Chain A
Amino acid sequence: MSKVPADLKYTKTHEWLRTLPDGTIEVGITDHAQHALGDLVFVEVPEAGRAVKAGEPCAVVESVKAASDVYSPVTGEVTAGNPKLASEPEVVNTDAYGGGWLMRVRPVAGGPAAELLTAAEYEKLQHEEGD
């Protein structure tokens, strides 16, 4: 059973969100997602300043098995892409909810957002997908 921290929000497409004290949103992929992908060999994160829309592909995670897009859960402006992942993509595997964050986004106030799930709802989704 993969980890699903209770203090985070989740998307149906297996991203997690953490609201930081300054109001920006940190985004990563869930433990379930990294486990399904296998060992990551490359991560492409967006550059600061890029405008992203909710539901739009904004990052790429590539493992030994597959390459997948990561979708932005919110509409806003990227304030940072995780610079560490260019040389250490494996951090997403080892620390999906911490050092493996992909990007930070300053959301547009009142802007559209993807449908967000609580930890309990995301755990249920994993069960349905046969974790």
Chain B
Amino acid sequence: MAFIPHTPADVEAMLAAIGVPSIEALFDEIPASLRVKSLAGIPDELNEMEIGRLMSERARLDGRPLCFIGAGAYEHHIPAAVWAITTRGEFYSAYTPYQAEASQGTLQLIYEYQTMIASLTGMQVSNASVYDGASAVAEASLMAVRANRKSKSQRILVPTTVHPHYRKVAVAAAGNQGLRFEEIPYSPGEGVIAPTSLARYEGEDITALVIQQPNFFGRLEDVDALTDWAHARGIMVIAVVNPTSLALLKPPGSWGSKGVDIAVGDGQPLGVPMSSGGPYFGFMTTRMEYVRQMPGRIVGRTVDLNGREGFTLTLQAREQHIRRAKATSNICTNQGLLMTAATIYMSLMGAEGLERTAAASHARTRELLTALTRLKGVRPAFQGPVFHESVVLLDRPVAPVLKSLASRGILGGLDLSEYYPELGHALLVCATETKTAADIEKYAAALGEVMQAARAA
């Protein structure tokens, strides 16, 4: 049986009915300059045998480098059971759980996910996940504009200590909807939001303030003071947090005297492999009073006619299949499979396991920083506490150093010169619980050699 449901005659009939000469003509409104004629390097078709061979050749090119890059995606140990369970057919192939009578397992899992994420962030309600951390920031900004009814400005303050990609995605996704994202500089020696930089917004109409904790540099912001400063001025607070860090740090629901209004983040550290950059998933939580302004799915627990417990999608009137153009978002789906993995990861790790992972990552990072800054030509960029990431400054350009390290099988960190040129030769490094003392020693020794060779050259 053909998988294409329409015969050429069907297609002809449909085109004739709407008075269009060809399928191609349906795409007329896309300017020719934006159309791709052919994809370079992509063959028209390969059969199963050919594609199998190509992919196994490609797979052989994969290395297992020693990775010290974080910057938004973190290498954590994922217990084997996580993906063994996640890839069971019941989870792996299940589509959207609109039919509650056929989806109780999926719905209950989402409900458990929401409960765990709400408990981890200290917030009252979580949705069923969104695409990723970056799009979660964009959605949170749009949500703040809807929820902060006293503010008319649609101005969102975003410190430059927020992940550069998140800032870019927020502008791309929400900038054309009237939102204005205004950057706040960080304190040069400290790598955190400078309280003095907020003074200039005194008395102005601001909709929301975004605070990332730990921030992109791995540093810890003074979240209590920032949250209270914003709330005292009618500004909503959007927290961007790393879920692993919440096992050690104060959850956003407890920041300041009343907690943040919206907390989001990327869920990748919870059982999702780095996979060359995705797919990951984003999480999104808020206070109950704003739940109807939160986009995306929410699963609720209820009882059926006979009083038996059951699970169902709830508050759907916020979603696009009901409210059409008035929906809270044009993305009302969730990142089902990755959220499933995260739920299983969290349930296997438990609160204690997550805390141990966070503590070990913090300890490994401190060891890494001690080992690296002991080297000639390497010094810390900022003073003050970090979680599992930090910035070091080299006495020479970072890119060639990273290239030499890569040839030794070490991914030495992220070169920040593209994102923060003012920092000079800055390198963002990270160590999680997956790094041993020997790994750290190996990295420090290699960096020392590479730097010395560069000086000698």
Contact = CB atoms under 8 A, between A and B. Distances in A.
Interface string B105-118: 00000000000000
Contacts of B326: 57, 60, 67, 69
Interface in A80-100: none
Q: Is the interface of B mostly helix, strand, loop or mixed?
A: helix
A77 B317 CA distance: 27
A94 to B, nearest CB: 21
Contacts of A62: 317
A47 interface: yes
Nearest to B316: A67
A57 B326 CA distance: 10
Interface in A11-65: 42, 44, 47, 57, 60, 62
Contacts of A42: 292, 317
B149 interface: yes
B317 A44 contact: no
B322 A66 contact: yes
Interface string B146-167: 0001000000000000000000
A42 B317 CA distance: 10
B323 interface: yes
Nearest to B323: A67
Nearest to A61: B317
Contacts of B322: 66-67
A50 to B, nearest CB: 9
B317 A67 contact: yes
A66 B292 contact: no
A86 to B, nearest CB: 9
Nearest to B324: A67
Nearest to B314: A41
Interface centre among A57, A62, A66, by most B CB within 10 Å? A62
A42 to B, nearest CB: 6
A66 B323 CA distance: 8
Interface in B270-293: 292
A66 B149 contact: no
A47 B149 contact: yes
- Interface size band for A: under 10
Interface in B292-328: 292, 317, 322-323, 326
A83 to B, nearest CB: 14
A53 to B, nearest CB: 16
Contacts of B323: 67
A60 B324 CA distance: 13
A106 to B, nearest CB: 19
A66 B316 CA distance: 9
Contacts of B292: 42, 44
Interface centre among A42, A62, A66, A67, by most B CB within 10 Å? A67
Nearest to B327: A67
Interface string B70-81: 000000000000
Contacts of A66: 317, 322
Contacts of A44: 292
A51 to B, nearest CB: 11
A57 to B, nearest CB: 8
A66 B317 CA distance: 7
B150 to A, nearest CB: 8
A57 B323 CA distance: 13
Contacts of B317: 42, 62, 66-67
Nearest to B293: A44
A42 B289 CA distance: 12
B373 to A, nearest CB: 54
Contacts of B149: 47
A117 B180 CA distance: 43
A66 B326 CA distance: 13
Nearest to B318: A67
Nearest to A50: B149
A28 B149 CA distance: 22
A122 to B, nearest CB: 25
Nearest to B317: A67
Interface centre among B317, B322, B323, B326, by most A CB within 10 Å? B317
Contacts of A60: 326
A67 B322 CA distance: 7
A42 B292 CA distance: 9
Interface in A88-129: none
A67 B318 CA distance: 8
Given A42-B317, A57-B326, A67-B326, 5 more contacts: A44-B292, A62-B317, A66-B317, A67-B322, A69-B326
14 contacts: A42-B292, A42-B317, A44-B292, A47-B149, A57-B326, A60-B326, A62-B317, A66-B317, A66-B322, A67-B317, A67-B322, A67-B323, A67-B326, A69-B326
Nearest first, the 3 closest Cβ-Cβ pairs linking A and B are A67-B317, A62-B317, A67-B323
